[in-house]
Amino acid sequence: MDLGIYPPHINALRSIQLKKFRYTTKWLNDHTLFYKTKFRKADVDPTDIKSLDDIKKLPFTTKDELNALPNSEICWHPELTLRKHTSSGTTGMPTASCFIDVDLQVMGTLGARSLKLCGCEEGMTLQVNYGYGFFTGGLIFDEAARRLGMKILPQGAAPIDKSIAAMQRFQPKVWCCTPTYAKRVCYYIGDNGVDVSWRIGSHGAEVWTNETRKLIEEGLGPDYKAYDVFGLCEKGGPFVGHECIAQDGSHIWTDVFYMEILDENGEDVSEGEIGELVLSHIYAGGYSTIRYRTGDKVKLVAENDCVCFASGYPRIQILGRKVKDEFKVGGTFLIRSDLENVAVNTTRKLHELFGADVGEFRVELSSLEGTTDVRYCVELADPENAEQKSVVKSVVRDISRHMINRSFPVKTMEIGTYEQSLGKTKLIIDKRNEGPQ
Ligand SMILES: [Zn+2]
């Protein structure tokens, strides 16, 4: 596949997209029973696509449909399959994907492009603290760095002290890991006074916010810049898009993935508006899908010029992993990312104030008479210490009121109640399917 480190000029993009979209749709119709059946049911023929607007005639593909397929049937080229990956299963059963050579080439090149977009260059060293395994993070970052000519420290999701030791020994300039992992490293550095060699960070696989960015950049020193990387296993892994030095939303590589952001009526949203991200592969890979409803709630930040070489490529901000992550609490709606922001800020503040006397902070959701009950849970070294308990509770309530204009009951428990995670941390514990508590 003809794909360069630099994306095609924005003026050529629409005609490239149309050509590739027509090719991919026809290929899927001719080679896969899944799409042949789907297009027939929707009474649409891929040759009907004469313009990009005609794409709206095609049916959506959903995660549930893919999960319902037998494991063998998601591979469009079983004989060419090189690797299988799964999503992390953030919202249920992990979705399987199947990679052939072209998928690895595409992701490697988009990865190299993405790393270059945030200032990485040939010869720099990248420390990889994403997991290597079913999760695409580790292996695909490895591929990306190799394509850009970088040196790789393939450490995986190691314990924090081991990652610091590797950083001190090999002095990498670039770092990649989840934002949660980066925050834990910041706490460790704050407690132990360590100088870091990292200057550029590519952080993703979780929804995170500018608050978290601030925390990471402050924690790692004035020369460190943290960038968002956006991807999903179903679309080949981490490099569907990446932030540039402007740090204002991830540019989406729409020469490879045709992007739609749709409101609840299926209409395109305008700049500044929020909708569901729908992505189509526009090449025929091992598991290419058309109009795939990611379930991610995103905001279209801008489609205008930018300071970087991806100028004109749309930028988005991820607000919530799943559209359905909006829930009714009492009489009003809350979205998951708001509660995650409260959790991030509360953890930071409690850590500043109480150090090791405070452990993990989680938001627990449970069902209550058709609505959602929210509870803030804080681990304390001594949960019986009434004075400390009361101060902690008032800090939590203040932050919550400040950030989302409301607060919820605070429960304290012993340190060790919640598992410490080195990868993706579930800040919100959802018990709503377990019935009323
Ligand atoms: Zn840019």
Q: Which residues is 371 bridged to in the sheet?
A: 368
E strands along 92-159, which residues? 96-99, 125-128, 151-154
Q: Which residues is 436 bridged to in the sheet?
A: 367
pLDDT at residue 136 in the model:
85
pLDDT tens digit string along 222-236? 999 999 999 988 888
For ligand 1, the distance from its centroid to the CA atom of residue 249, given in whole angstroms, is 8
For ligand 1, the distance from its centroid to the CA atom of residue 310, given in whole angstroms, is 5
pLDDT at residue 345 in the model:
83
Closest to 236 in 3D by CA, of 330, 136, 374: 136
Of residues 169 and 73, the one with the higher pLDDT is: 169
For ligand 1, the distance from its centroid to the CA atom of residue 232, given in whole angstroms, is 21
Buried b / exposed e along 39-74 (16+ C-beta atoms within 10 A): beeeebebeebeeeeebeebebbebeebeeeeeeeb
For ligand 1, the distance from its centroid to the CA atom of residue 26, given in whole angstroms, is 33
For ligand 1, the distance from its centroid to the CA atom of residue 177, given in whole angstroms, is 22
Please name the amino acid found at residue 124: M
For ligand 1, the distance from its centroid to the CA atom of residue 303, given in whole angstroms, is 10
For ligand 1, the distance from its centroid to the CA atom of residue 246, given in whole angstroms, is 6
Closest to 285 in 3D by CA, of 62, 80, 6, 65: 80
For ligand 1, the distance from its centroid to the CA atom of residue 5, given in whole angstroms, is 15
Query: How sure is the predictor about 436, in pLDDT bands with cuts at 50, 70 and 90?
Result: very low
For ligand 1, the distance from its centroid to the CA atom of residue 171, given in whole angstroms, is 28
* Window from 51-65, 242-256, 326-340 with minimum mean pLDDT: 326-340
Average pLDDT, the chain: 89
Q: Could you give the domains of the chain? A: 96-323 (3.40.50.12780), 327-434 (3.30.300.30)
**Is residue 426's pLDDT more than 70?**
yes
The Cα 391–Cα 124 span in angstroms is 46
For ligand 1, the distance from its centroid to the CA atom of residue 270, given in whole angstroms, is 19
Exposed/middle/buried for residue 126 (C-beta within 10 Å: 0-12, 13-18, 19+): buried
For ligand 1, the distance from its centroid to the CA atom of residue 203, given in whole angstroms, is 17
3-class SS string, 241-293? EEECCCCCCEEECCCCEEEEEECCCCCECCCCCEEEEEEEECCCCCCCCCCEE
For ligand 1, the distance from its centroid to the CA atom of residue 181, given in whole angstroms, is 26
For ligand 1, the distance from its centroid to the CA atom of residue 248, given in whole angstroms, is 8
For ligand 1, the distance from its centroid to the CA atom of residue 206, given in whole angstroms, is 21
pLDDT tens digit string along 360-395? 899 998 887 667 789 999 999 988 888 889 999 999
Residues 380/386, Cβ–Cβ less than 8 Å: no
Mean pLDDT, residues 119-123 taken together: 97
For ligand 1, the distance from its centroid to the CA atom of residue 304, given in whole angstroms, is 9
For ligand 1, the distance from its centroid to the CA atom of residue 272, given in whole angstroms, is 16
For ligand 1, the distance from its centroid to the CA atom of residue 407, given in whole angstroms, is 37
For ligand 1, the distance from its centroid to the CA atom of residue 314, given in whole angstroms, is 9
The Cα 201–Cα 57 span in angstroms is 40
For ligand 1, the distance from its centroid to the CA atom of residue 202, given in whole angstroms, is 15
For ligand 1, the distance from its centroid to the CA atom of residue 172, given in whole angstroms, is 24
Mean pLDDT, residues 202-227 taken together: 91
**Is residue 330's pLDDT more than 80?**
no
What are the backbone dihedrals phi and psi of residue 291, each rounded to the nearest 5 degrees, phi first?
45, 55
For ligand 1, the distance from its centroid to the CA atom of residue 384, given in whole angstroms, is 51
**Is residue 437's pLDDT more than 60?**
no
Of residues 85 and 316, the one with the higher pLDDT is: 316
Please name the amino acid found at residue 89: G
